[in-house]
A and B are shown apart, each in its own frame.
Chain A
Amino acid sequence: DQQVKQNSPSLSVQEGRISILNCDYTNSMFDYFLWYKKYPAEGPTFLISISSIKDKNEDGRFTVFLNKSAKHLSLHIVPSQPGDSAVYFCAASARDSSYKLIFGSGTRLLVRP
C-alpha cells in the first residue's frame, strides 16, 4: 500500500524552462512534506520542505506547493538547469511518528541543454 506516490517515473525538460514534479499521498495524518534530490552513487540530499499549515514554500529556484484537499504536492524548478538532472523523491511524515519518512518511488528529471 503506497502512501506516497510519484506517478511519473521520468521527466525531460529543456534548459531554462520550468520543471514540475508531482506527488500524491493518501494518509491524512501526514503533516510535513519534503523533497530530496539524488545523484547516482550518492545519498539523497534535502532540497525543500513544507508544513501542512502552509500551501507554498519557496527557496530560490525551487517552490513546493501543497494542496491538502487534493492530497497533492508539487515541486517547481524554474529556470531548470542541466545540473538539476537527478532523481527527485517526495517524502512525508505523520504527526504520530514524526521521525519516520515515507518516500515515493522517485521521478528522474533530465534537463536538456
Chain B
Amino acid sequence: GAGVSQSPSNKVTEKGKDVELRCDPISGHTALYWYRQRLGQGLEFLIYFQGNSAPDKSGLPSDRFSAERTGGSVSTLTIQRTQQEDSAVYLCASSLGGTVNYGYTFGSGTRLTVV
C-alpha cells in the first residue's frame, strides 16, 4: 500500500486480557519498528526488525510483550495479560534501509486502552 497501515485503530480491553496489534509496512521496506507513546510523553522504542537479521528487542518493557514479523512484511505486536500501564498509542514505522537517514514512515497508530 501507499503508507504504513495499522489495525485496529482503537482497542479497549480488560485488564488481564491479551491483545494483538498489526502493522502492514510499506511494500519493499526492509526495516520495521514499533514505538509506543504514553500520554504526555515522547515516543519510546520497543523493537526493530531488519530483513532476516535477529530483531533488536531491547525496548520491550517486559516479557508480556512480544513481536514477530512474518515473511519480512506484516508484523504483530502481542501484549499478554494487559495492565493499565500498557495504555498508550502503539506506533509502527517502516523504512527502506536500516538507518534513520532513510527516514521512517509512521502509521497512524493503535490507541490501546486497558480498563
Contacts and interface: CB of A to CB of B under 8 A. Distances in A.
Interface residues of A, number: 25
A37 to B, nearest CB: 11
Interface in A63-113: 89, 91, 93, 97-106
Given A99-B50, A100-B56, A44 B43 contact: yes
Contact of B48 (A32, A49, A100, A106): A100
Contact of A45 (B35, B56, B106): B106
Given A99-B31, A103-B43, A43 B109 contact: yes
A9 to B, nearest CB: 8
A100 B56 CA distance: 10
Contact of B106 (A32, A43, A93): A43
B86 to A, nearest CB: 19
Interface stretch (B61-69, B76-84, B94-102): B94-102
Contacts of A101: 35, 43, 45, 100, 104
30 contacts: A32-B101, A34-B100, A41-B108, A43-B105, A43-B106, A44-B43, A44-B106, A46-B104, A46-B105, A49-B100, A89-B42, A91-B43, A91-B100, A93-B100, A97-B56, A98-B99, A99-B31, A99-B33, A99-B48, A99-B98, A99-B99, A100-B56, A100-B100, A101-B35, A101-B45, A101-B100, A101-B104, A103-B43, A103-B44, A105-B40
